[in-house]
Structure 1
């Protein structure tokens, strides 16, 4: 049409407008969908960051509860370890249900009546009745056989159950008898029984799953103390991040670092908590008549970053007396300060694996006095150290320490028949000048003898001291020695060292009396015979 648009053009324009409208609507929906996707992604990332942060917080809480969490736990006792056999009732299952007997009503033919009875029905009924009776009698016989079989199987199952219960009760009785024997030995202070029970206490202690569960224990009946060598958790036990945050600009989740000073402080606190926890668990589960003190040595199995070699540095060592330890309110103590109060040896930088020398070397404490140490030398081919002359004893001690690394040896006069010598070495014990006293005694070497060694050390400007005896020391002597850089070697340890370095079997001396008290350090031993 002239001067205007045709119908076709108008339709085309309308279609273009509709297409443009739809395109705008699609673009709007796409933007909304993108905004919704971004919102959901943001929430997901933020939730992931919060979840990772919560995991770190849970770990820190778990670490913080290492000590206090066990204070509410009931201590292990022998009665708790009693075996209780299973007493579940006998369940025969389907064998216990009798099969319903056959019902004659299901076999009996219908009784004839009316006309059927007149026209031969009675005779047919008699025949049917006879056949039904036969089927019924056969089913009764089969039912009887099935019931007899069921009852035999039921009797066999009950007999098997009774045998199983009897075996379980016998095993429980045997286990409990063995436990009673261990308890008797424990009450008598037998080292193996005390060590077994202490190991059970430590086995039952629940730590985080990634903590090592390695330890060794040695009981010294002459001192009434327990030496524990414990594998400490690694530095990685402390998270090196405080949490996580979502960085929208990079669409990434970044860790929030934990300050290195805090990581080191938390690690030192963790080690202190592990030590105090172990002391608490063993003291709480044992009587004071058996364990008066515990020596805890904590070491770490790790890699030396400088050499790439495996190392096991000691990072903590503490000797705790029961009487003093039980005065602490562990729920409220500062673990690090508590160890300091106990005069513990703690690495200045445990996180950096700066090692310390433990109070007591665990390996030597594994060698205890044994009953055969009282065997008469005439009935034993081994050398009895108490029957050596002073010269022979000095010679043996000198050979031992030279084999252990002493580079020089000078004997000096001794007033009590023992051996006094000055040795020098870069490796012997703590290195430098070391004064050695060897006492060929038959009884307890008291605190006065250990105290006197410090004076001799001062006279000879000795860096360290070593007191060797054929007998044994009290715990007060050990505590004094630890504070004054003196190493004590008792008869059992001397026997081991002579065997290890000189390959000679010896009888060191008398066995400590069973009723010897660890606190009895005022006595002094007597020199052995000169013959």
Structure 2
């Protein structure tokens, strides 16, 4: 809903001596508070309806981004501005009595989501996961043939590129020494007097999904270094466990497609994959023949999903060794 959903008039008083009605305008702060509450209610409504429609219980969690198509106040160009974001687990949403909650508190405190502080002024927030972040064929097509392949780039050159990206974004940034860096690849400083400060950056040139342990390690580094924020940059993608851990913490996860988009936006170059951007690029080579393929066929009304639990003894190694549609391979690629 737009900002005009909030009535601009707070009260109407009848003046009998003048035989007229006099309106009292609603204060701006009150209008903004009411509008934020309406947006929070809208987010909770969508979450409730999504999980209610999932009668088979297939959804473990939902990432919901609320946005408006408007004009970017910085550039004056048409833009998609995100005003709300949340990663909501089914267990939390179904355990809440949504008819009794304060919508804003439930969204920001209970579900640890974010809502723009000034949605009436279209003050944007950084959205959570978007469809482009999901692994698939679109990842390979990011960038053009003339750009350097980030997967094949020298590790030191890749770190230098990330530092240059942060400098292009208006921050001070330097790469760290290879030894004794404490898990920090790039030291950045955001000069903004309100939301700025020290930022520690880790870069992971992975082809498979980044494990949640890497995000936990970054959070530990942020705390030990007394930094304001931690940023994890990768050429691959993050799984649900990584996003769930980062939610509500001073952590930013930048997946491969988003990294390529950021490089292009700030005049830098990079692509993912050898055939990216070429219409005549050959199809990816078939896997080497030294593997075993398990095929499963079924028919009937039941919808089945195939997954693999990679175990040591009788216990799964960890979350990243649960192979299914949203985590298509183990970290070492041995099971796909």
TM-score range, shorter chain: 0.5 to 0.7
Match of 1:278, SS state, is helix
The yes-or-no answer on 1:467 pairing with 2:236 is: no
- Equivalent residues in 2 for 1:152-191, closer than 5 Å: none
The yes-or-no answer on 1:281 pairing with 2:49 is: yes
The yes-or-no answer on 1:391 pairing with 2:159 is: no
The yes-or-no answer on 1:371 pairing with 2:140 is: no
1:277, CA displacement in angstroms? 1.8
The yes-or-no answer on 1:296 pairing with 2:61 is: no
Match of residue 320, structure 1, among 71, 75, 88: 88
The yes-or-no answer on 1:434 pairing with 2:195 is: no
The yes-or-no answer on 1:270 pairing with 2:68 is: no
Say if 1:426 and 1:432, in contact at 8 Å, map to a contact too.
yes
The yes-or-no answer on 1:402 pairing with 2:161 is: no
Larger Rg: 1
Query: Residue in 1 aligned with 2:128?
Result: 360
The yes-or-no answer on 1:241 pairing with 2:9 is: yes
**What's the RMSD between the two structures over aligned residues?**
4.4
Say if 2:60 and 2:89, in contact at 8 Å, map to a contact too.
no
1:321, CA displacement in angstroms? 1.8
The yes-or-no answer on 1:250 pairing with 2:15 is: no
Match of 1:484, SS state, is coil
1:325, CA displacement in angstroms? 1.4
Match of 2:98, SS state, is coil
TM-score, normalization by structure 2:
0.64
Query: Residue in 2 aligned with 1:485?
Result: 250
Give the direction of change, closer, same or farther, for the CA distance of 1:516–1:321 in structure 2 (3 Å limit). farther
Structure 1, gaps ≥5 residues long: 1-210, 212-232
Query: Residue in 2 aligned with 1:454?
Result: 219
Higher strand share: 2
Match of 2:58, SS state, is coil
- Equivalent residues in 2 for 1:52-131, closer than 5 Å: none
Q: Which deviations, in whole Å up to 9, do the C-alpha atoms of 1:301-355 show, x marking residues without a partner?
A: 5998xxx99999765432212332133343444323432321222456766x594
Query: Residue in 1 aligned with 2:299?
Result: none
* Structure 2 Cα separation of the partners of residues 476 and 251 of structure 1: 65
The yes-or-no answer on 1:422 pairing with 2:187 is: yes
Give the direction of change, closer, same or farther, for the CA distance of 1:253–1:321 in structure 2 (3 Å limit). same
Q: Which deviations, in whole Å up to 9, do the C-alpha atoms of 1:493-512 show, x marking residues without a partner?
A: 22222333345342259x9x
Q: Which deviations, in whole Å up to 9, do the C-alpha atoms of 1:166-211 show, x marking residues without a partner?
A: xxxxxxxxxxxxxxxxxxxxxxxxxxxxxxxxxxxxxxxxxxxxx4
Give the direction of change, closer, same or farther, for the CA distance of 1:457–1:246 in structure 2 (3 Å limit). closer
1:374, CA displacement in angstroms? 6.2
* Structure 2 Cα separation of the partners of residues 442 and 399 of structure 1: 22
May I ask how many residue pairs the two structures share in their alignment?
279
Q: Which deviations, in whole Å up to 9, do the C-alpha atoms of 1:381-423 show, x marking residues without a partner?
A: 664333333223223333333333332313233689x971212
* Structure 2 Cα separation of the partners of residues 441 and 503 of structure 1: 20
Match of 1:239, SS state, is coil
Say if 1:293 and 1:321, in contact at 8 Å, map to a contact too.
yes
* Structure 2 Cα separation of the partners of residues 342 and 289 of structure 1: 20
* Structure 1 Cα separation of the partners of residues 230 and 167 of structure 2: 16
TM-score, normalization by structure 1:
0.43
